[in-house]
Amino acid sequence: MKYTHIIYIAILAVIFALPTRMSGQTDAQMTQYFALPTYYNPAAVGDTDYLRIRAGARLQWVGIDNAPTTFLATGDMPFKFLNKKFGVGLLMQQESLGLYKNLTVGAQLGYKINLFKGVLTAGVQVGLINETFKGSEVFIPDDDDYHQGTDEAIPMNDVAGNALDLGIGAYYTHRYFWAGLSMTHANSPTVTFTAEGSAGGSTGAEGESAKNYEFQAPRTLYFMGGSNIAVKNTLFEVIPSFLVKSDFTFTGFDVTCRVRYNKFLTAGIGYRYNDAVSAMLSAEIKGFFIGYSYDYPTTEIAKASSGSHEIVAGYRLKLDFSEKNRNKHKSIRIM
């Protein structure tokens, strides 16, 4: 079964790297998307008065060999320049899927204006996408009648490539709700791999020519939103939210409902279309945040996996850009 899983993951990964340009999903799937808004929308930077740092890790489909594992980190803060309001942020995401890995890094900038008693932000992201494939670890059994020991579509050497990656977005925050529309991989970047010792392209070290493989990250559209609804005369809040995503070939959505007590402890449930149901729990205290979620598959994959686990943690620090404290001195009479 181990070799079977290796073959399956290898073929799944390199199907995005055929000589004819193919596309595949590159963005991480996070159940706690609401805790990492800048990952999905660069315009969400600086949407609070805090320096906000968050990191998340996800183990997908526990029990299946070589299933996806994801790590991502984000940081953002607001600032003022020439009496204008901005937000700035950084992000990093790495995902492993068998012999295949992708890494995304980006810098984000948002410009803010007051609109209809809320704040509208237009944001951009400029970054880099890196794709790697461990072709040297590919194993295809000799008794595989389809591949017969080799497959020209699968690199047999380690390959890697980089490309410029751009994102755009708009994000609106109001006292009672928030909503955002964004597009990741807006330039649909194409990563070109080169595997030495294959047919086609330039000459390799062993006298054979190099073969080019290409991966194209598809433009992915996100629409997300949510609200905080205070329960009258209690310390509870109801926090519904949603995330719709589409690469113009496949469209899916997440819906979540959480309840928070005294701005400290939060519990909730969620549903991802045609994929999983989830339960989540989080806590916030003195600027620290930690959240956990568990997904149980609603598809046939439940026969092989016990589910997916995800942890998000972070810290936020209050920022004060007011003028009132500048050059302020206490009277010696009260010092």
Alpha helices in the chain (DSSP H): 2-14, 37-40
Q: Is the pLDDT of residue 289 over 50?
A: yes
- What pLDDT score was predicted for residue 192? 84
DSSP 318: E
Q: Is the pLDDT of residue 323 over 60?
A: no
What's the whole-number mean pLDDT along residues 5-15?
Answer: 45
Residues facing 98 on adjacent strands: none
Mind listing the pLDDT tens digit for each residue in 21-49?
444 557 888 999 999 999 999 999 999 89
Mind listing the pLDDT tens digit for each residue in 48-98?
899 999 999 999 999 888 888 999 999 999 999 999 999 999 999 999 888
Q: Is the pLDDT of residue 16 over 50?
A: no
Q: Is the pLDDT of residue 124 over 60?
A: yes
Q: Where are the domains of the chain?
A: 2-318
| CA neighbours closer than 13 Å in the CB half-sphere of residue 321 | 16
Mean pLDDT of the chain: 83
Longest Cα–Cα distance in the chain = 91
* Sign of the dihedral defined by the CA atoms of residues 226, 30, 292, 273, in that order: positive
DSSP string, 5-46: HHHHHHHHHHGGG-SS--B---S---TTGGG-HHHH-GGGTT
Burial class (CB in 10 A: 0-12, 13-18, 19+), 74: buried
Looking at per-residue confidence, does 217 or 277 come out higher?
A: 277
CATH number for region 2-318: 2.40.160
Q: Identify the helix (H) or strand (E) that includes residue 273.
A: none
The amino acid occupying position 257 is C
DSSP 219: P
The amino acid occupying position 284 is E
pLDDT bucket at 321, cuts 50 / 70 / 90: low
Going by C-beta distance under 8 Å and a sequence separation of 6 or more, which residues neighbour residue 327? none
Q: Is the pLDDT of residue 139 over 80?
A: no
Per the CB < 8 A criterion, the answer to whether 62 and 68 are in contact is no
What's the whole-number mean pLDDT along residues 138-162?
Answer: 65
What's the whole-number mean pLDDT along residues 97-110?
Answer: 91
What's the whole-number mean pLDDT along residues 300-314?
Answer: 93
